[in-house]
Structure 1
Amino acid sequence: MYDIIIIGAGVSGIFTALSLAETTKKVLLLEAGPNLQERKNEHTFDGFGGLGISEGKYNYSSEFGGNLVEKIGLEQTKISLKQVRKLLEKFGGEESLIYQTNPPALQVQDFHFIKNTTQHLGRKLSKEVYQNFFDYLKTKITIQTDQKVDQISPFENIYQVKTQENTIFYGKKIVVAVGQANHFLTQVRKTLHLTAENTRIDLGLRLEMPQQQWKKLLGNQQEIKFTYKNFYSHCMNKSGRVISQEQKGFLRPDGQNFRENGASENLNFSLFHPFYFENEKQANLSIQHLFSLFNKNGKIIGQRLSELDSTFPATTNVEATLPYQPHSLKKVVPQKIIQGTLACLKNLENLLGEKISGNTVLYACDAKFYPTAVQTNAHFESSAKNIYFTGDCSGISWSLSHAAAAGLYLGEFLAK
């Protein structure tokens, strides 16, 4: 019998456990994937650490990364975000790249620039930090990996947690922190009669262009974050590279920090637009169809900007850092994304002070997947008593920092 069972050892689940580690609570942390040492390429998002061992970008702004402010308030969000940074540094992240993003003095209509502090660990340091988390937690709580939970069922006044291997655990309180949408979440909602909201998926092109063009706007900054109407920038990498990342069986273009595999002359970032679906089935069907068009011959498709819109002159050369399959993006990418991206770039020229090179490479498509949100109260408790949802699967957070902050906040509440 456990006081608390945490299902999912991703970012939010781990930070929930960290909040409970020094208490007298008997805690079990279950993870469907392998431990950190056994994670391989095919386990990029599965296993201890979850997305925490990706590029490791923690953005400490309350303005983006989820709706945590609406859930726990602005001041508590700021406090929890500070605690996340302290823990990352305490467990080995002192050498991470930390930089400030400041809005430019010049403002252009329809653009909003966000002031933010970023702590960028990179993949190598992220693995070291999360290994330190594991080594610490295993001395305080029980951790079991390769335990894929299949069902949560009420059992007298507690809950029964059953895995696919028919192993059964009992807990007084259950924290669901499984991250991405999957069959298990759907099953839990049905079994416990929980109210679900719409399913969200963000889609957008990843752009790779000469970093020199951003000198006026960036200065010595590593990154700048902005929104343009219903679009938002994500994961900007100055001097970085574009890599192919597999997620949910799809290939998507991702940004890589220059410290990982050497610097380039380019800058890359994604420009996302949110799409909403009535349910997970509808969302999955749509995304499967789109990625069957985006992924060709084992490669991500791409196109030069001047080929997409001839008003952008093919001036400064751009050497693509990711081999791609040339393809007409207008034939396969939703027009809302094409039109919005082109409009954003044309307006962005006013800030950059020059024409954007038509040799800019547009990769299709980057994506952010969100589980269907479950309705919860201010402490992440669902309508099923003592069942809590935190991190991305709550629908509240969709960034590393906010997922971690949500886990810390919930863990502190459960520790009382």
Structure 2
Amino acid sequence: MKHYDIIIVGAGASGVFLSYELTKLENRAKVLMIDKGAPLEKRQCPIKKGAKTCVKCSPCHIMNGYGGAGTLSDGKYNITTQFGGDLHNYVGRDAAMALMEYVDEVLCGMGGADAKLYSTASSELKTIALRNNLHLLEAKVRHLGTDRNVKILGRIFDYCSDRIDTMFYTTITEIEQEQDGTFLVKTDKGEAFSCRDLVLATGRSGSKWISSVCDRMGIKQEKNRVDIGVRVELPAEIFKHITDDVYESKIVYKTDKYNDQVRTFCMNPYGEVVAENTNGIVTVNGHSYADPALRTENTNFALLVSNTFTEPFKDSNEYGESIARLSNMLGGGVLLQRFGDLVKGRRSSERRMKKCFTRPTLQATAGDLSLVIPKRQLDNIIEMIYALDKIAPGTANEDTLLYGVEVKFYNSKVEVDKNLETKVKGMYALGDGSGVTHSLSQASASGVYVGRILAEKYR
């Protein structure tokens, strides 16, 4: 059995920046990072190679592997505490912002310096939105693009490769804590390792795994929220005046009918809609690129309705999964519907889709989202589309495309202290896998934060 000082479970944003900081800062720690996904150069979605639909790779190349779910995303880093997680509640607001600014400096130093930094703070859009009962959240946004993001992560891996041992295609099957406080870690390859400090940084795709670990270790978790919605796709010209100004517009609306909050999420100008596989369930997301040659004629973004449950129901993720499974059952994966068909109460057929002026960037099954998404959430989404039409005329056009479903699983919020350490001494939980963060910037910042703590410990 091989011994390490630190084992990092997960090579997502938090794990990557934890390894970066441990490499940069002077310390004597021996470090191993384990991920169930592929190394960066092997992460290729079959759809990019010509597959018509998601073939349910195990593990999913979009969700797993070096860099985590953020690797093949559009590389959007939102520097803010208004959304994207609660890191500021643990480390303080000023410290959280400083950590995110530091992450931005690292990204720029690794090749992102020419990526534009947007800001919504003084945008005229904020005033226009308020006049229409829409609320634009404030953030600075660094958009790297999927292509540039992959190159930067490659440079970070190379920087850390001589200092950090890394294992891919490896799943941890068992974790035990010995009487002396060290951890015993076993893998599906029959290997065993021990360590003094264990960092759980599994990201969104590791939600069930980290919950099982916490249950066995007696660590408290909160499980009460999931976001359900659709991915909207429309001609880029409709949102051009917004995306050219702020790029990522986080707009929140409170519906008249139910008094529920609906928000835009992950806006991708000139991007493409993609399918992703989370624990065997196919949902939808969006990407965009920095290289003009890779851009499309459309913009896509999510519209999400937050669902928070009370007793006795506790497993909000299972609720979201059940809706996604229904979409997979009816559509064999992702369902697609024209907005005009939805409001008229009819399914989108192949015949109707052939007449559609908006060309879809993801091949999906034409169908009826009202058979999948609960009425309350669907009513909220329709009302939000009409609200957005006031600041971006054309949003409510008949040929606006809706892909379903998009589900944002909020990992159970793990009980941690101000150092992001659980009640089990030496076990840390950070990034999106901990439920503390929900964004690339905050997840990366949490990795830097714990990296500094552990570097000091092993000086």
Is the CA contact (8 Å cut-off) linking 1:199 and 1:373 kept in structure 2?
no
AA at the equivalent of 2:17: F
Q: How far has the Cα of 1:396 moved from its partner?
A: 0.7
Residue in structure 1 matching 2:26, options 7, 20, 23:
23
Residue 162 of structure 2 aligns with which residue? Answer: 139
Secondary structure of 1:415's counterpart equals helix
Residue in structure 2 matching 1:79, options 68, 88, 98:
98
Is the CA contact (8 Å cut-off) linking 1:150 and 1:184 kept in structure 2?
no
Secondary structure of 2:126's counterpart equals coil
1:282-316 Cα deviation digits (max 9, x unpaired): 445434432233234545212111222259xx999
Residue 164 of structure 1 aligns with which residue? Answer: 188
Report how many aligned residue pairs link the two structures: 414
Is the CA contact (8 Å cut-off) linking 2:119 and 2:139 kept in structure 1?
yes
Residue 46 of structure 1 aligns with which residue? Answer: 64
Q: How far has the Cα of 1:388 moved from its partner?
A: 0.7
Q: How far has the Cα of 1:391 moved from its partner?
A: 0.4
CA RMSD, aligned part only? 2.8
Range 354-363 or range 149-158, more displaced = 354-363
Alpha carbons of 1:29 and 1:292: their partners in 2 closer, same or farther (altered >3 Å)? closer
Structure 1: give runs of 5+ residues left out of the alignment: none
Is the CA contact (8 Å cut-off) linking 1:217 and 1:351 kept in structure 2?
no
Secondary structure of 1:105's counterpart equals helix
1:48-67 pair list within 5 angstroms:
48-55=66-73, 56-67=75-86
Is the CA contact (8 Å cut-off) linking 2:234 and 2:395 kept in structure 1?
no
Alpha carbons of 1:174 and 1:254: their partners in 2 closer, same or farther (altered >3 Å)? same
Mapped to 2, the partners of 1:11 and 1:144 lie a distance apart of 16
Secondary structure of 1:160's counterpart equals strand
Identity of aligned residues (%): 29
Residues 1:209 and 2:238 are matched in the alignment: no
Mapped to 2, the partners of 1:114 and 1:104 lie a distance apart of 8
Mapped to 2, the partners of 1:270 and 1:287 lie a distance apart of 15
1:76-131 Cα deviation digits (max 9, x unpaired): 11100111111112223334354333343221364210222222222222222222
Mapped to 2, the partners of 1:408 and 1:301 lie a distance apart of 39
Structure 2: give runs of 5+ residues left out of the alignment: 46-56, 255-260, 346-351
Alpha carbons of 1:143 and 1:242: their partners in 2 closer, same or farther (altered >3 Å)? closer
Range 153-162 or range 208-217, more displaced = 208-217
Alpha carbons of 1:279 and 1:185: their partners in 2 closer, same or farther (altered >3 Å)? farther
Q: How far has the Cα of 1:392 moved from its partner?
A: 0.9
Q: How far has the Cα of 1:136 moved from its partner?
A: 1.4
Mapped to 2, the partners of 1:212 and 1:373 lie a distance apart of 39
Residue 263 of structure 2 aligns with which residue? Answer: 232
Is the CA contact (8 Å cut-off) linking 1:210 and 1:316 kept in structure 2?
no
Range 146-155 or range 183-192, more displaced = 183-192
Residue in structure 2 matching 1:179, options 179, 187, 203:
203
Mapped to 2, the partners of 1:255 and 1:54 lie a distance apart of 10
Residues 1:34 and 2:38 are matched in the alignment: yes
Mapped to 2, the partners of 1:252 and 1:189 lie a distance apart of 26
Residue 281 of structure 2 aligns with which residue? Answer: 250
Is the CA contact (8 Å cut-off) linking 1:316 and 1:357 kept in structure 2?
no
Residue 334 of structure 1 aligns with which residue? Answer: 374
Is the CA contact (8 Å cut-off) linking 1:108 and 1:350 kept in structure 2?
no
1:211-360 pair list within 5 angstroms:
211-215=236-240, 217-218=242-243, 220-229=245-254, 230-257=261-288, 259=290, 262-276=294-308, 282-283=315-316, 285-295=318-328, 296-310=330-344, 317-352=357-392, 356-360=396-400
1:46-92 Cα deviation digits (max 9, x unpaired): 22221231222111122111111212111011100111111112223
Residue in structure 2 matching 1:195, options 204, 209, 220:
220
Mapped to 1, the partners of 2:295 and 2:336 lie a distance apart of 22
Is the CA contact (8 Å cut-off) linking 1:198 and 1:276 kept in structure 2?
no
Residue 104 of structure 1 aligns with which residue? Answer: 126
AA at the equivalent of 1:2: Y
Is the CA contact (8 Å cut-off) linking 2:136 and 2:249 kept in structure 1?
yes
Alpha carbons of 1:394 and 1:219: their partners in 2 closer, same or farther (altered >3 Å)? closer
Secondary structure of 1:146's counterpart equals coil
Range 369-378 or range 271-280, more displaced = 271-280
Range 236-245 or range 350-359, more displaced = 350-359
Alpha carbons of 1:307 and 1:113: their partners in 2 closer, same or farther (altered >3 Å)? same
Secondary structure of 2:219's counterpart equals coil
Q: How far has the Cα of 1:215 moved from its partner?
A: 4.8
Alpha carbons of 1:353 and 1:163: their partners in 2 closer, same or farther (altered >3 Å)? closer
Mapped to 1, the partners of 2:81 and 2:118 lie a distance apart of 16
Alpha carbons of 1:285 and 1:68: their partners in 2 closer, same or farther (altered >3 Å)? closer
Alpha carbons of 1:191 and 1:328: their partners in 2 closer, same or farther (altered >3 Å)? closer
Mapped to 2, the partners of 1:287 and 1:355 lie a distance apart of 26
Mapped to 2, the partners of 1:332 and 1:77 lie a distance apart of 39
Secondary structure of 1:104's counterpart equals helix
1:305-360 Cα deviation digits (max 9, x unpaired): 1222259xx99942333333222222211222211111112222332357731221
Mapped to 2, the partners of 1:351 and 1:182 lie a distance apart of 37
1:206-252 Cα deviation digits (max 9, x unpaired): 11123333355555443322111322211112222323333332333
Residues 1:123 and 2:146 are matched in the alignment: yes
Alpha carbons of 1:352 and 1:71: their partners in 2 closer, same or farther (altered >3 Å)? same
Residue 414 of structure 1 aligns with which residue? Answer: 454
Q: How far has the Cα of 1:165 moved from its partner?
A: 2.7
Mapped to 1, the partners of 2:440 and 2:184 lie a distance apart of 29
Alpha carbons of 1:282 and 1:386: their partners in 2 closer, same or farther (altered >3 Å)? same
Mapped to 2, the partners of 1:280 and 1:147 lie a distance apart of 33
Q: How far has the Cα of 1:205 moved from its partner?
A: 0.8
Is the CA contact (8 Å cut-off) linking 1:301 and 1:326 kept in structure 2?
yes
